[in-house]
Structure 1
Amino acid sequence: MDHSLGTRRFVETEAAAAEDSFREFVSWCDRTGSCALYGRDVVRVWNDLLRRADRGELADSRTPGTPVTAQALRDRAFAELYGPTWAVLAEFLSVLDASSVAPPPADEPYLKPHLFPAVFCLDWSLPVRDHREFAALTRRAERTAPHMKGSPLARDAVAACVGRSADTVNPQHRLRITKAPKILLLNARHDPSTAYGWAVNVHRQSRTATVLLTYEGWGHGVYDRSDCTRNATDAYLIDLTVPRDGTRCAAVEPVVTPMSAR
């Protein structure tokens, strides 16, 4: 977490991370024959589904008569980018495009709203003066992420902390690490949630205290992605052995698991 960001930069960097991960999903579909949308213009399918959602033409299979909103589609896509479970997302979009009825998700949402604010708002002060400023932040996020229209995580975080400034006990500040063993930072190059740029900026603020290892792949969380990431982490946790600063671990293609197999 880059704990030096104010409200605007937090929203912008989260939007950029979500958009980057969506583009990686599109690239995967374009090159992977097992993608349910292979051979199609994935961005066009996505944009068409969002337009149909805005017109109320998509239905939720769990609650007949309830339309699927465009925001619900973006939230679902964001959740699948965490894995990433690209095959599941592609199958979901393909089924919805063909039938106009959204199959139910197999897993819990990416966050539990009743727990998240209680934790997040203790550490982050994200003041928003009024609705006009919130709307301006939303427009900025939409420009940064033209397909994802921002980050659901950033949207929920900022909205949840409105009026809770008194709860913040550890507000943002630049890092000041004075006494610690060398710290190993790990981040995926294409993480939809903790943006890679965050890790770079944290490292920039603490060069004498940290080493940054970059996983060149996708998803949220790095440790179990490959032998490279596991070995580097184990060596650090067991022996405090750090890799050379700037070490990079190659990307590993996510396992293709269709929605029906979850």
Structure 2
Amino acid sequence: MALVLTMALSGCVSLFLPQQAQSTSVPTGEKVSADLEPFYDQVLKWKDCGSGLQCTTASAPLDWADPGSGDTVDLALVRHPATGSRVGSLLVNPGGPGGSGYDFVKDSLDYATDAKLQAGFDVVGFDPRGVGRSSAVSCYEPAEMDEYLYGLPATQRGSDAWIQELAAAAADFGAACQQNTGALLGHVDSISAARDLDLLRAALGDEKLNFLGYSYGTFLGATYADLYPDRVGRLALDGALDPATTNADVTRVQATGFENALRSYLTDCLAGEECPFDGTVDDAMNTIGALLASVDVSPISATDGRRLGANSLLTAIIYPLYQAAAWPNLSEMFDSVLRGDADLAFQFADGYNGRSADGTYSDNATEAFMAINCVDYSYNDDPASMRAQAAEIELAAPTIGKYMAYGDIGCANWPYKFEGERTAIAAEGADPILVIGTTNDPATPYVWAENLSEQLDSGQLVTYTGEGHTAYNKSNACVNSAVDDYLLKGTVPTADPKC
């Protein structure tokens, strides 16, 4: 079934290969320490990989604290050479963490960037360490992943036994990741990935980094700016994360964001003719809350034998909330589940989790998401603290918050721990950085864009008043013009254009 989800649309890439595209990238030749020279001076050799795209692989130190150890990771890159007057390279990250920038550019170039950016830049997609075609995190076989993602606990939600059951499953998952991934699992943190970005910048031959980051990509870009403020070129950060936010706050604010997006969907749905709900928005929210509670105790069986519980249903609800264009599909899904049919809900949850119809997984996004988040945040395994946090989340999001709580369980006993402190990022001395925020973004709420733009010493906010996750190339001409003019010309808005 084809879903009208704009985040999944594949773009058509240009077949034109401009004359200035070279088969090798000449590194900047900048002076670095001797143990970093092999990485910064490496020559990237590009090969044709179809549809006007070129591919290559770069090498980075496994451990940036000991780059001379000899242990390395591979970083997979794909580029669409500039079709017009070339400004430089533009590295693109789609978010996650765990999203494949390689696939983003290869399959969805016109969704990632517009024609103006494609004319001016070599658009470069890359898989960060731990992700996809790069040296990747590996944990479970498909059947094991099915049980981890879709399996139903045998105990009552929120009870001590339930916490213990989930903690045991999380420990097994972490142990499998450690066994199957090896030392890489301890080096997939965002600081290491940001250092990789600088290496790629130099290997591509760019004196400064030009970067377009979506969602988690905004944190990666901000981290880079904090580490290398003097090497910041033009950074556009769309759908911002707040670097100073704790994991508990992330969950609470996201729960609020998705709850608000759900209410916006219902407002639109109830004004139409084919809505599976009736009454007021509050009435419909109560119906959804009752539906989640019902499948939590009495799951619905799908034709493939899987049973739809509250967590999988919530995943199916969240998936289309990322873009308002998918709201009609959400109505179809709700209608089917209210009739006792779980198949479409599983198709939505599978789409979110990267699971194919044959039961295989198209990528390692879920595994990478866990591995990176587990070493980027601090977690608490104290049941009393988790229950207190759960109460706050449910208060903030009365309908869905209950099913987003207790997220610390997954990472509290991860094989590697977060070292450091989540703090605001100022990136003092960096050139101006553009931060784009959508007022009703469910996944990265607008307040985070406000926070990041204020934290950054040179941050400039661009506000899009509307729905959906991220705004560039999917909202209006005001946002597109602000981003294009900034990335192509270095033009910074004198004030928030409030698009």
Q: TM class, shorter-chain normalised?
A: 0.7 to 0.9
Q: Where does residue 241 of structure 1 map in the other structure?
A: 491
Contact 2:292 2:313 in 1 (8 A): yes
How far apart are residue 219 of structure 1 and its match?
1.6
Post-superposition offset of 1:15: 1.9
1:72-221 equivalences under 5 Å are 72-84=312-324, 85-103=326-344, 104-105=346-347, 108-109=351-352, 112-124=365-377, 126-149=378-401, 152=404, 156=407, 158-164=408-414, 166-168=416-418, 171-206=421-456, 208-221=457-470
SS at match of 2:347: coil
Which whole-Å CA distance do the structure 1 matches of 2:270 and 2:291 have between them? Answer: 18
Q: CA deviation at 1:139?
A: 2.2
User: Matched residues in 2 for 1:187 and 1:165: separation?
Assistant: 35
1:165 positional shift: 8.5
C-alpha contact 2:255 2:397 (8 A) present in aligned 1: yes
User: Could you tell me how far 1:69 is from its partner in structure 2?
Assistant: 1.0
- Counterpart-to-counterpart distance in 2, 1:200 and 1:119: 24
Deviation at 1:230, TM superposition (A): 1.5
Aligned in 2, Cα 1:10/1:44: closer, same or farther, shift over 3 Å? closer
In structure 2, the CA distance between the partners of 1:45 and 1:151, relative to structure 1 (3 Å rule), is: closer
Check whether the contact 1:2–1:202 (CA below 8 A) recurs between aligned residues: yes
**Alpha-carbon shift at residue 144 of structure 1 (Å):** 0.8
| Counterpart-to-counterpart distance in 2, 1:155 and 1:89 | 26
Q: 1:61 to 1:219 in 2, by over 3 A?
A: farther
1:258 maps to which residue? none
Which residue of the partner structure matches residue 48 of structure 1? 290
Runs of 4 or more above 3 Å deviation = 38-41, 99-102, 164-167
Aligned residue identity for 1:49: L
Alignment check: 8 A CA contact 1:15 1:150 kept: no
Contact 1:235 1:241 survives alignment (8 Å)? yes
C-alpha offsets along residues 194-219 of structure 1, whole Å, 9 cap, x if unaligned?
A: 1211111112323x511111111122
In structure 1, give the amino acid aligned to 2:410.
Answer: A
Measured after TM superposition, the shift of residue 73 of structure 1 is 1.3
Instruction: Calculate the aligned-residue CA RMSD, in Å.
Output: 2.5
Structure 1, 182-191 or 223-232: larger mean CA deviation? 223-232
- Cα distance change, pair 48–149 in 1 and its aligned pair in 2 (3 A): same
Deviation at 1:150, TM superposition (A): 5.5
CA distance in 2, matches of 1:199, 1:31: 31
Q: How far 1:145 moved relative to its partner?
A: 0.5
Distance in 2 (CA, whole Å) between partners of 1:165 and 1:145 is 31
Equivalent AA in structure 2 for residue 213 of structure 1: V
Alignment partners' CA distance in 1, 2:342 and 2:247: 37
Q: 1:150 and 1:231 mapped to 2: Cα distance?
A: 40
What is the TM-score when the length of structure 2 is the normalising length?
Answer: 0.45
Q: Distance in 2 between matches of 1:97 and 1:90?
A: 11
The alpha-carbon distance between structure 1 residues 39 and 60, as it changes in their structure 2 partners (threshold 3 A), is same
Asked if 1 retains the 8 angstrom alpha-carbon contact of 2:310 and 2:403, the reply is: no
Choose 80-89 or 6-15, whichever is displaced more: 6-15
Specify the SS of the correspondent of 1:108: helix
Please report how far the alpha carbon of residue 172 of structure 1 lies from its aligned counterpart in structure 2 after TM superposition: 0.9
The match for 1:259 is: none
Counterpart of 1:28 (choices 252, 263, 268) is 268
* Distance (whole Å) between structure 1 residues aligned to residue 459 and residue 400 of structure 2: 32
Contact 2:255 2:393 in 1 (8 A): yes
Calculate the TM-score normalised by the size of structure 1.
Answer: 0.81
Pick closer, same or farther for the CA change 1:196–1:165 going to 2, 3 Å. Answer: farther
Give the stretch that moved more between structures: 21-30 or 103-112: 103-112
Cross-structure match for 1:10: 250
Task: Tell me which moved more, 208-217 or 101-110.
Answer: 101-110
C-alpha change, 1:6 and 1:101, in structure 2 (3 Å) is closer
CA distance in 1, matches of 2:278, 2:381: 46
In the alignment, the residues of structure 2 paired with residue 16 and residue 214 of structure 1 have an alpha-carbon distance, to the nearest angstrom, of 19
Read off the aligned partner of 1:141 and give its amino acid letter: I
Classify 1:209/1:16 alpha carbon distance in 2 versus 1 (closer, same or farther; 3 Å): same
What is the DSSP-based 3-state SS (H/G/I as helix, E as strand, rest coil) of the residue aligned with 2:401? coil
TM-fit CA distance, 1:119: 1.9
Q: Take 2:483 and 2:450, find their aligned partners in 1: how far apart are those partners?
A: 18
How much does 1:224 deviate?
Answer: 1.2
Superposed CA deviations along residues 73-129 of structure 1, whole A, max 9, x for unmatched, are 1121111111242111111001111244442415621573211022223332x2214
Structure 2 segments unaligned to the other structure (5+ residues): 1-240, 355-364
Structure with more contact order per residue of length (Cα contacts < 8 Å, sep ≥ 6) = 1
Alignment-derived partner of residue 253 in structure 1: none
Query: How many matched pairs?
Result: 242
The CA deviation at 1:227 is 1.8
